[in-house]
Amino acid sequence: MKPFAYERPHDAAGAVATVTADPDAAFLAGGTNLVDHLKLGLAAPSTLVDVTGLTSTEITDLPEGGLRIGAGVRNADFAADERVRARYPALAHALLAGASGQLRNMATTGGNLLQRTRCVYFQDLTTPCNKREPGSGCSALDGWARHHAVLGATHEPADVACVATHPSDMAVALVALEAQVRVLGRDGERAIPLTDLHRLPGDDPTRDTTLAHGELITAVDLPASPIAAHSTYRKVRDRASYAFALVSVAAALAVDDGGTITDARVALGGVAHVPWRATAAESALVGAPATDDTYRAAARAELVDARPVESPRGGTAFKLPLVTATLAAALRGLAENSAQEAR
Amino acid sequence: MKLDLTLTVDGHHHSLTVDTRTTVLDALREHLDITSPKKGCDHGQCGACTVLLDGRRTLSCLSLAVAHDGAEITTADGLAPDGELHPLQQAFVDHDAYQCGYCTPGQICSAVGMLDEAAHGAPSVVTDDLTGDVRLDRAEIAERLSGNLCRCGAYAHIVDAVEQVAR
């Protein structure tokens, strides 16, 4: 681990000023990903600027009925909040499906959004990786590809290829529930849809987000949403607990008395460089009967441009039927719940 | 860069000077000779380093000491201050909930923290009704302790031990 300075500014604006002024400085919050990166040699900041206590650790009601989650709220407290459990069950489920009890006590809302991919090649300094070392190549393309992308990845040219996935569960539910992120920069605070925070690798896989260096997430806003109370999160992984998603689905569904879908929200995890809002699936669902055929057609619509990794040592083609089955299972469960409530 | 800090560990006050790179785990083991928290993976994947930090179960290997100046830490050792075993420690003995014992201090700190979380109504991903009461059955205990690995595979007895105290 390279030596670094440690600072604890008096307020968030001071933290932003310090990091903005030093291209090698980094924010520290829960540290669950960054401290690991220090040990792995993936990160070598000049200065760690501790923002613990500088952003809110509270969940507050918004005037229009939504919730504001301070960036410093720990994942465990976020999941346990009674308003979140009752009004945004997909989000509580997603938070609880992530990491372990200890990590959820440490990890913050802001840090969870900014965690980096767990691609084994990104984390292994001895292998080529365009995200870690621009132009070196992508080892996953002909390597051990399993947790990698099927949507929105860059397969070529070789010097910018990246098939990494975003690892967060929480972010998938937040994207489905149309959250906004509040960001503090040198010129003040701004709000952006969460779908605009993360970015596809494009021709620069080194950048995970659209944030400028020194910009700090201060809060996440959840809009009031009747459909969110009928939401769920379904995660498929290699072991029953404490593992990253192979595929996950966050979904919310409204079905009328005649069994027709009137509204839908769908996001996918484990399939892309971003938590993937599945707008094509949503369009295919609304107005259609709440049946398995509809759910599968919605998955097919979303996967029309899918391109799995086809590596001699594994690949991600298995994710295409897995997305379809997981999405169908999630929607089937939601439709059954609303039918039971109608009775 | 070195910084001064204080830690209260198992009721004892300590002042120390550490390099900023020092984790809480290394501060405890290498600076204070408190060796009940164990270094397993040192990457937050095994849970052997679990301590109660300001009352919550925490991975000491992923916590920088300088970021926890003034913290109150309880280790498995501190759960038995006068040699009298904590009910969970006694339950581990009663149920033979270990083989080599290396993961045990982390398992016990994690279980103490977990029981406190459940007592405050925190759900888990296997809780059927997110807004209902928490009942710690075997599936709940296994899920809530999934951050603690046991390479000997003593899981069945660990769940027995925790179940005894959870009742």
Q: What is the pLDDT of residues B37-86, one digit of tens each?
A: 999 999 999 999 999 999 999 999 999 999 999 999 999 999 998 989 99
CB–CB of B130 and A93 under 8 A? Answer: yes
Give the per-residue pLDDT at A299. 98
Query: How many domains does chain B divide into?
Result: 2
CB–CB of A241 and B123 under 8 A? Answer: no
- Do B60 and B28 fall within a single domain? yes
CB–CB of A76 and B47 under 8 A? Answer: no
Which amino acid is residue A40, in one-letter code?
Answer: L
Q: In B, which residues are within 8 Å of A86 by CB distance?
A: 130-131
Fold of A1-51: 3.30.43
- Do B18 and B55 fall within a single domain? yes
- Do B148 and B122 fall within a single domain? yes
Summarize chain A as % helix, strand, coil (round to 5). Answer: 30, 20, 45
Give the per-residue pLDDT at A341. 76
CB–CB of B121 and A5 under 8 A? Answer: no
Residue B113 included in any domain: yes
Distance from the B12 Cα atom to the nearest Cα atom in chain A, whole angstroms: 24
- Do B91 and B73 fall within a single domain? no
Q: Is A5 on the interface with B (CB under 8 A)?
A: yes
Q: Is A252 on the interface with B (CB under 8 A)?
A: no
Domain of B112, in residue numbers:
87-166
- Residue in chain B lying closest to A83 (CA): B131
Final residue in a domain of this structure, among B20, B55, B77 = B77
CB–CB of A103 and B44 under 8 A? Answer: yes
Distance from the B81 Cα atom to the nearest Cα atom in chain A, whole angstroms: 23
Q: Is B142 on the interface with A (CB under 8 A)?
A: yes
- Do B142 and B71 fall within a single domain? no
**pLDDT per 10-residue tile (average), chain A, 343 residues:** 97 98 98 98 98 98 97 98 98 98 98 98 98 98 96 98 98 98 97 98 98 98 96 97 98 96 98 98 98 98 98 94 98 90 69
Q: In B, which residues are within 8 Å of A85 by CB distance?
A: 123, 130-131
Give the per-residue pLDDT at A339. 76
Instruction: Please count the residue pairs, one from chain A and one from chain B, whose beta carbons lie less than 8 angstroms apart.
Output: 110
Which chain A residues in 136-175 lie under 8 Å from chain B, judged by CB atoms?
none
Distance from the A153 Cα atom to the nearest Cα atom in chain B, whole angstroms: 28
Q: Is B3 on the interface with A (CB under 8 A)?
A: yes
CB atoms closer than 10 angstroms to residue B135: 10
The H or E element spanning position A280 is: helix A279-285
With H, G, I as helix, E, B as strand and everything else as coil, classify residue B51: strand
d(CA A298, CA A288): 10
Residue B130 included in any domain: yes
- Do B55 and B107 fall within a single domain? no
Residue B36 included in any domain: yes
Q: Where are the domains of chain A?
A: 1-51, 228-342
Q: Which of B4, B5, B20, B73 to mutate to test binding with chain A, by most A CBs within 10 Å of its CB?
A: B20
CA B46 to each of CA A123, B58, B62, B148: distance values in angstroms, whole numbers, following the listed order: 18, 12, 12, 5
Q: Is B116 on the interface with A (CB under 8 A)?
A: no
- The pLDDT-based confidence of B91 (bands split at 50, 70, 90) is very high
Among B110, B99, B93, B90, which residue's Cα sits nearest to residue B46?
B110
Residue B82 included in any domain: no
Give the per-residue pLDDT at A338. 81
Final residue in a domain of this structure, among B77, B96, B128 = B77
Residue B101 included in any domain: yes
- Do B71 and B14 fall within a single domain? yes
Q: Which of B19, B39, B56, B129 to mutate to test binding with chain A, by most A CBs within 10 Å of its CB?
A: B56
Q: Which CATH class is domain A228-342?
A: alpha beta
State residue A113 phi and psi, 5-degree precision. -65, -30
Q: Evaluate if residue B2 carries a pLDDT over 70.
A: yes
The H or E element spanning position A21 is: helix A12-21
Contact B49, B61 (CB under 8 A): yes
Residue B112 included in any domain: yes
Final residue in a domain of this structure, among B25, B48, B77 = B77
CA B139 to each of CA A7, A8, A319, B113, B155: distance values in angstroms, whole numbers, following the listed order: 43, 41, 28, 17, 12
- Residue in chain A lying closest to B1 (CA): A5
Domain of residue B12, CATH code: 3.10.20.30
- Residue in chain A lying closest to B22 (CA): A1
Give the per-residue pLDDT at B67. 98
Contact B141, B117 (CB under 8 A): no
Of A80, A106, A241, the CB nearest to B59: A106
